[in-house]
Chain A
Amino acid sequence: MSSYSSTNLRVQILRDERSRTRTNSIDPAEAEKEEPIDPLTAACRARYARFEKAIAAIFPSRRPCCATDLTVHELLGIEEPNDDDLDVLLPNGVSKDGEKATPIIRARRAEEDDDYDMDEEEDEAPPPPVQKPRSPIPPTIQISSPDRTKSPSGKDSATVTREKLEADKKAAEDAAKLSFSTMFYTLESDRDAMLEQQKLDESDRQVNAEANAQGAPGKLSNANLGASSLTLKHLIARIDAKRERVAVSDMELRNLMSEVKKNRSKWASEDKVGQEELYEAAEKVVLELRAQTEHSTAFLNRVNKREAPDYFNIIKQPMDLGTVMKKLKQLAYKSKKEFIDDVNLIWQNCLQYNADPKHYLRKHAIAMQKMTQNLIPLIPDITIRDRAEVEAEEAGAHDQDADAESDDEPIMSSRMNRKAPGTSKAKKGGAKPARTESTPEAKPPILNIQGVPDIKARDSPVPGHILAETSGLGSQNGFGSPALAHTPSNGHISTLDLDPTIEKYEVDDDLDPEYKIWKTMTKKARARAASERHKLFRGTKINLDEPALIRTRVGMGRYIRSELAHGDKDAAAKDIKAPLAVAVEEHAEEEDNLLPNYYKILDGVPELPYNLQWLGDDEDEIDRYNDNLRLAPKGIFTQPPTGLARNMDSNMKIMQDTRKICHKIGVIKQMQVQTQVYNNQFAKYDPAEFVEREPEDFLVSDDGPIYSEDINRTAFQRSIGKIFYHAGFEDFQPTAFDLVTDIATSFFKKIGQTVMLYSETVLPTGRFAPDEILLHTLAENGLEIDTLESYIRDDVERLGGKLVQLNERMRAHLADLLRPALQDVENPEAAEEDMSHFVNGDFTDDIGDDYYGFKDLGLEREFGMSISSGLMRVLQTRINSNYQAQSAINPAVPHTEYKAPPPFEPLSLDILKDQIGLVHNFFLAKLHANGDEPLIEDEDLPIKQRAPKPRLPPTGKITTPRKRPVSGQGGNSKKKKRPNPPPPVATKPPPAGSTAIIAPTATPPLSEENNGTVPKFEEKDMDNTPGMMSPESIMAV
């Protein structure tokens, strides 16, 4: 955008204002002619010039070429601006009626030295409207040969007209292009342009669809492909054979064919003479008319009855541009007149229907009418005739032009015919007498040069003259407004009342002519740009499905060129970039650059600096050895192994160690309690050491902090988890974890904010010192140095000490528990006594295995125990502890004092006979259930299989037995330690009155028996099974 330097940035409004002043005050054409300038105009111009300069001074450009020599102060000093350097850009060729304005805007070199690349074009195509009227053009142009090659002497008048129009157009384009650099057009009219263009396309499609619907895909050879189809007949025949496989419509095919045949258009026909020329021109006219979207929108399609119910009452013969196009495609026109009549009919209809002179459509209709008048001369005055007829004529006139023509070949002749439009009547110009109409192909018609647009009509004949002429020549002359004059059917409007209307509306149209030109010239391009822009959005959001905007080589080249052209040309040529610009040059040709650069923003986007580019190789791998992208250094997300973290880590290590010991103790205790131990009963407990993991490798491009919310949060959570563990939590719920993380995050955010606040605060004495900032921040957030210090001291360091202490004690405890096994057996007899139990008892045959998982526990390594000995010793330990417990509980009763009674014989089928008959059935059933094996006493069963003992409540009523909750191990061990345990009042409040029952009554017989059989186990069971603990249960049994 930098090329639009200060002087170029003119807001449209300014322009409008100026131009309005100008157009209103004085007719520009007159202004040129008449030397004495209206003083008002002069004043306005002077003011304008001042403004221009002021703008340039206010927005100075960095570029030397754009710099003004004027400063603001100078500017203010200017009193009388010089008219000479105004070089006002009046539209030179504005016609009197203001129609088809083709102003040429010259760059104001005085003010802005912008040297645009259009300069050459400007030079070689001088403003035609200025030149043409002045340089006399031969009124008649003789075409010596009917061949397409242009004769040096003159041109086909239609060609001339066309060329002139094209030149006009080109000039207008140039003007528009030039104006890009001097004006900034706002984009607000783009939407209208887009909508109009859409309508146009719509109507195009409609016409096409209708045409296609009519002409069902038929034989191509049937289709009228023009004369030279003979030369291609084999191709055509071939295509016809495979017609169904060609997926194009007839129309398209015809277009294709006409392209193949170089000089033949789709309209070319073998049978019709002159059709090609007429239709080509007519089509061009229709397209041109349609392209005037500003005005043509209303006329594109048929009037809908819904929109205007009474339309068809008033208008008997409706017509519209779409219909005209359709008719063209149907080849419905036989002559220029028919076509022009139809076109004019559209405007006439409109004017007739909308009789109110203020109706807005009238304005459009009139504008279109004028446009039509301008365009009509483009159409050669041809009446299509059948070839046969022409040939017949030819035959008649053969003698006259036999030398000139070789008509043996039909194609050739048809070509000639085409070249020399087969008008039946030669056209007559105003001055030159027409030649005879007998040799249409040989003698080109004499064309009236007055058929140029009305620009010229200004200084040649008056309307009356036109009228006279047209009336004399009939409808078929090349004049601009013959149809208008000759619309007898539509008598409401005459040329006389037409002209004032036109002027009136022209005045109404208060747009700046430059702007208007710009609008018309760039309409299509703008519409395209707008629709592309429109596609990028969906609703008010960006449409994500749209492909990305990509700079094009061409666009960039154009931009560079315009950049180069902006400065000094010679310097630019030496510029390094020049080759690039040149390289791009050839591609740029076909691109229409009607739009100013600010429509193509992408082109101006500069290249990324090399070091910021991500250059990928073939697989789109990013080059990670680039200087700027590198692996993030390690250790960002792990804590340094120093300071507090080290202390915490060591604390956690100790905790883990202690937990392991705890686990061992727990296992051993459990083994002492249980009679049976299962291999998988104790889950292995072997926590891994805490290691902070690094995130996966990732790339960074600078040294700042890493903004990755996920990783940061995870790392933060890890720290929080560490603190949790350090505070004694072995595991925690994720929700709690998240919550704490959130709270901590917000707290740290606040700390950060406070630090920011203090570091940004400026006191009268200066800024806060860093340590002050820190202290203030801590205080604001409820922290004090003391608090932090005491945390470190108490919760980390002292905690470490405590943990070490506890760990030692735990180890000692474990060693105590294992000591009996490590020492020599103290009670050999007891051990021996129980060996039998061990041998015939509960232990299965897999003795050699690591039965208790000692290996897992690490006891073996720790204490040098072998597995087998361990097994034995643990048993002994159990026995030992039982002894101890027993002796602790019943110190007064040595267990050797009485002999245990013999155990009951297990109940078997043999013994059952001796029992009383009442129980026979019961025991039989039991035995049967047991597979006729001897029944085992309840006391001998493993604890788990025992039925809970029935308890008699104090009331003496037997109710359904209910299970007591199994209380924890810890409680038991505590109770064990108490000498003479009192009834556990606090934990299990006994039912009222139970204490009364506790009395030194007789020992329950059952316990007596049990003591006799397996005293140790009984005692132990009594101790440890919770169901038997409470005194009343003992009482009950």
Chain B
Amino acid sequence: MANDRFKYKLEIQQMMFVSGETGEPSPETTGIIEDIVRGQVIEMLIQATAQAARRGSRSISTDDLIFLIRHDKAKVSRLRTYLSWKEVRKTAKDQDRDVDTADLVEDSAAGDALKMRQKRAKISLPWEVASYFSEQPPEGDDEDDEEEAEANVATLARLKSADERTKSMTKDEYVHFSECRQASFTFRKSKRFREWAGFGLVTDAKPNDDIVDILGFLTFEIVQVLTEEALRIKDAEDKLQTSNKENDKKRKRDRFLFDGPGEGRTPVEPRHIEEAFRRLQRPRAKSKAMRNFEGGGVMKTRVGLM
């Protein structure tokens, strides 16, 4: 039953592993994560559809989706990089096909140049400065380096931590890790994802490829954020427990040579995930500000997007 309902157990486990969870999470844990992720995806789709309707369109575009997370600059920046590289990859493939047929060797320089140009095809968002004006000048060379660099700080930090983790890995472990990094809700299982997220119900059944990709990217982020938060909670809890234990039984403190192996790291449990979700859902002061002095402290709110 549970197996039928939850379709992404493995992927979620992998993602959690990438995010720092070393133990093997139980199916309950992955199930609850899957439910949360699904709720988030559906909420995103609903909001994006509403946004598109406001534009006068019936189908959502990538802009609608990115608009939902526009305040998270790091995420937007990563998304843009992701999309632009995706574009590059796609065109490169086309190019490859062409190039394959024509001239394999000689045109490498031209191919490079082409690639470079392709890379410039940046994803422009409608709320950026360029859209202030009616005319678009051709792309310049030096743009947004500063901002990008700043937005990439989070990404870099993440990469760095991953690097730290992988430093001490053996080759096999590293292979496993890199495999896990490729885990995705959508990659090569677009159909499954569409069914899972209820595309036909919430929005049009045949979304753009890019949208599915973006959602895949975002779902990974959600799992990662949840896991990290849950791990923090669990660490705090463990610390508390061990300190309590130490207070209770002082003897246990001393370890001896022939003691059995210490208790292994326990995996994240559903309650940690729930607590993490609760924390992430806590309404921000900003959204409450307009209700100051006006009462109505209890109100129905939407699910907050992570």
Task: Give residues in B with beta carbon < 8 Å to A.
Answer: 127, 129-138, 140, 143-144, 146-147, 284-290, 292-293
DSSP class of A's interface residues: helix, strand, loop or mixed? helix
Q: In the complex, which residues of chain B have a beta carbon less than 8 angstroms from the beta carbon of A655? A: 132
Q: With A728-B132, A782-B286, A783-B286 given, is the CB distance from A809 to B137 under 8 Å?
A: yes
Q: In the complex, which residues of chain B have a beta carbon less than 8 angstroms from the beta carbon of A658? A: 132-133
Q: Is the CB of A780 within 8 A of B129?
A: no
Interface residue tally on A, bucketed by range: 20 to 34
Q: Which listed residue (B138, B147, B285) contacts A781, Cβ 8 A?
A: B285
Q: CB of A371 within 8 A of chain B?
A: no
Distance, CA A809 to CA B138, complexed state (A): 8
Q: CB of A284 within 8 A of chain B?
A: no
Q: CB of A615 within 8 A of chain B?
A: no
Q: Is the CB of B289 within 8 A of A799?
A: no
Q: In the complex, which residues of chain A have a beta carbon less than 8 angstroms from the beta carbon of B130? A: 806
Q: In the complex, which residues of chain A have a beta carbon less than 8 angstroms from the beta carbon of B127? A: 728
Q: Is the CB of B131 within 8 A of A753?
A: no
Contact with B along A945-962 (1 / 0, CB 8 A): 000000000000000000
Q: Is the CB of B287 within 8 A of A782?
A: yes
Distance, CA A108 to CA B122, complexed state (A): 103
Q: In the complex, which residues of chain B have a beta carbon less than 8 angstroms from the beta carbon of A781? A: 285, 289, 292
Q: With A750-B292, A754-B292 given, is the CB distance from A782 to B285 under 8 Å?
A: yes
Q: Which listed residue (A669, A750, A809) contacts B140, Cβ 8 A?
A: A809
Q: In the complex, which residues of chain A have a beta carbon less than 8 angstroms from the beta carbon of B135? A: 661-662, 665-666, 669, 810, 813
Q: Is the CB of A728 within 8 A of B137?
A: no
Q: With A753-B293, A809-B140, A813-B138 given, is the CB distance from A782 to B288 under 8 Å?
A: yes
Q: With A746-B290, A750-B293, A781-B285 given, is the CB distance from A812 to B131 under 8 Å?
A: no
Q: CB of A684 within 8 A of chain B?
A: no
Q: CB of A747 within 8 A of chain B?
A: yes
Q: How far is the CB of B125 from chain A (nearest CB, A)?
A: 12
Distance, CA A371 to CA B165, complexed state (A): 120
A781 and chain B: residue at smallest CB distance:
B289
Q: With A799-B129, A806-B129 given, is the CB distance from A780 to B289 under 8 Å?
A: yes
24 A-B residue pairs with CB within 8 Å: A655-B132, A658-B132, A659-B133, A661-B135, A662-B135, A663-B134, A728-B127, A728-B129, A750-B289, A753-B293, A779-B285, A780-B285, A780-B289, A780-B292, A781-B292, A782-B286, A783-B285, A798-B147, A802-B129, A803-B129, A805-B143, A806-B133, A812-B137, A970-B136
Q: Is the CB of A810 within 8 A of B137?
A: yes
Distance, CA A780 to CA B291, complexed state (A): 11
A659 and chain B: residue at smallest CB distance:
B133
Distance, CA A803 to CA B133, complexed state (A): 11
Q: Is the CB of A747 within 8 A of B137?
A: no
**New A-B pairs, 20, CB < 8 Å, besides A659-B134, A782-B285, A782-B287:** A658-B132, A662-B134, A665-B135, A728-B127, A728-B129, A750-B292, A750-B293, A753-B292, A780-B289, A781-B292, A782-B284, A783-B285, A802-B144, A805-B140, A806-B133, A806-B137, A809-B137, A809-B138, A813-B135, A970-B136
Q: Which listed residue (A663, A750, A806, A810) contacts B290, Cβ 8 A?
A: A750
Q: Is the CB of A728 within 8 A of B143?
A: no
Q: In the complex, which residues of chain B have a beta carbon less than 8 angstroms from the beta carbon of A803? A: 129
Distance, CA A780 to CA B287, complexed state (A): 11
Distance, CA A780 to CA B286, complexed state (A): 8
Q: How far is the CB of B67 from chain A (nearest CB, A)?
A: 15
Q: How far is the CB of A886 from chain B (nearest CB, A)?
A: 20
Q: Is the CB of A666 within 8 A of B290?
A: no
Q: With A754-B292, A798-B147 given, is the CB distance from A810 to B287 under 8 Å?
A: no
Q: How far is the CB of B167 from chain A (nearest CB, A)?
A: 33
Q: With A805-B140, A805-B143 given, is the CB distance from A810 to B289 under 8 Å?
A: no
Distance, CA A398 to CA B290, complexed state (A): 111
Distance, CA A665 to CA B144, complexed state (A): 24
Q: With A782-B284, A782-B285, A805-B143 given, is the CB distance from A747 to B133 under 8 Å?
A: no
A787 and chain B: residue at smallest CB distance:
B286
Q: In the complex, which residues of chain A have a beta carbon less than 8 angstroms from the beta carbon of B288? A: 782
Distance, CA A743 to CA B138, complexed state (A): 39
Q: How far is the CB of A802 from chain B (nearest CB, A)?
A: 5
Query: Which residues A731-789 have CB closer than 8 A to chain B?
Result: 743, 746-747, 750, 753-754, 779-783, 787
B284 and chain A: residue at smallest CB distance:
A782
Q: In the complex, which residues of chain A have a beta carbon less than 8 angstroms from the beta carbon of B287? A: 782
Distance, CA A442 to CA B40, complexed state (A): 126
Query: Which residues A671-714 have CB closer than 8 A to chain B?
Result: none
Q: In the complex, which residues of chain B have a beta carbon less than 8 angstroms from the beta carbon of A669? A: 135
B94 and chain A: residue at smallest CB distance:
A982
Q: In the complex, which residues of chain B have a beta carbon less than 8 angstroms from the beta carbon of A783? A: 285-286, 289
Distance, CA A662 to CA B137, complexed state (A): 9
Q: In the complex, which residues of chain A have a beta carbon less than 8 angstroms from the beta carbon of B284? A: 782
B285 and chain A: residue at smallest CB distance:
A782
Q: In the complex, which residues of chain B have a beta carbon less than 8 angstroms from the beta carbon of A799? A: 129
Q: How far is the CB of B248 from chain A (nearest CB, A)?
A: 38
Distance, CA A809 to CA B139, complexed state (A): 8
Q: In the complex, which residues of chain A have a beta carbon less than 8 angstroms from the beta carbon of B286? A: 782-783, 787
B129 and chain A: residue at smallest CB distance:
A802
Q: Is the CB of B136 within 8 A of A747?
A: no
A753 and chain B: residue at smallest CB distance:
B293
Q: How far is the CB of A587 from chain B (nearest CB, A)?
A: 58
Q: How far is the CB of B206 from chain A (nearest CB, A)?
A: 12
Distance, CA A662 to CA B290, complexed state (A): 39
Q: How far is the CB of A815 from chain B (nearest CB, A)?
A: 11
> Nearest 9 A-B pairs (CB), nearest first?
A782-B286, A782-B289, A728-B132, A813-B137, A782-B285, A809-B137, A662-B135, A781-B289, A665-B135
